Structure 1
Amino acid sequence: MSTDTNPTTEQDSFEEEQPARYLVHLSPLEENPARFHQREKALEYARGYGLGEHAIEDSWATGDTLPPWLAQAEAEVDAERAESDRMDEELAVEFASIINRRLAQLGITPITPAGSDGQGHFAPAFLAASDEEERRYAVYAGFDEEEGAVTLLVEDYRRQGQREFHGLKLAVEKLVDVRNVLYARRNGPLPTPKPKPQPSRDAQAIVGALDQLTAAVDSLARIVSRP
């Protein structure tokens, strides 16, 4: 009668037959308390499914902290972001080129020409500085994508804390010649459209009652006019 020196228990058989989806991939744990904690959680997970510790596959010998499928997803997202940044940069450079050519045609030499920061962020051309004493706005040249035209932008001349608006706003003037820069510096931004006043509740009630009265009169007139 032969003696099996390595008997296969039911538990071992169950563990060997488990599909690959139960394997938990971990990176090396040396000098990494966070990864040690993750391994402990993985062991707890494996035991909860009746698996042994050998179900945890320590296959990331290179020291990577991400499983291959997640690393691939990260790489794809990074590539998409890089392509988007490249397209933004090309667009910013194109806008800057259009603005600078238009300014040159009009004989305007900007203090700072339009450009890009190399990361897809467009910077308008700086044409004239502000003057608080003279109440003169700073003037810039930008680009309107919808109209496909170079526009004038203004910045408030007032000091911080007293400004009526922040950042750059579209100027009243359109860029046709040099004088438009002068007028934009004096006249400032386009006024903000005021919202239409809403009728009060009493007014709305009166209008509603008149509508009902009109409908009733029309209905009565139709009844009276019948033969």
Structure 2
Amino acid sequence: YDYARSGRKVDRPARTVSIKEIVVEEIGLEDGILRAVVRVDCSKGTYMRTLADDLGQRTGYYAHATTLVRSRCGPFELADAVDLEQLFDWSRQGIGQQSFMTFLHNKGLLLDISRAFDSFPACDLPADLAAKLISGQSLVLSEDFLLKNQPFSLTCRPELIPENGRKLVFYSRNRLICVAGLEEAEPAFYRIKTERVLIDLADFRQS
């Protein structure tokens, strides 16, 4: 921003993003300036201020973004969010930390960690393979295995999931166990490497 305000040109390398939808919700003149409210459904990595500039150029106007509101991120909606001041007010009610967590849970504000991975392809594993991933060992699984054991998503085919950087989440015994990377090991086989373990091995074995 400092460079732009001082008149220095800033190179902005192109990047590939996905724009699913652009909707002009409001448009009109305000103090002689054409203003529009635009809703965009896009992939991560989309620089909205640059998009506003590009839209202006495509329509023959100079344009820039004056206000940005992130209304959704993955499965999380702004409409379901709670204002920080509201949280602070609740926390000042003199209840202990554990009681406060129970209070939030009863209001439906504490979500299971699996909600954060709703957009990720997922695969269900038998317990012995799950224990290996939890321990940090890599697996080599066939494409057929991945496709037959994925009740939580449409597909595990890596070429169809570039947005998540070829990552999968794995479940076992109806529990989320880890996030793992996916790379081709040989034709129709993929190497699975754990990137983030989400459950303790001892806890998993007791479940």
TM-score, length basis structure 1: 0.15
Q: Which protein has the bigger helix share?
A: 1
Larger Rg: 1
Structure with more contact order per residue of length (Cα contacts < 8 Å, sep ≥ 6): 2
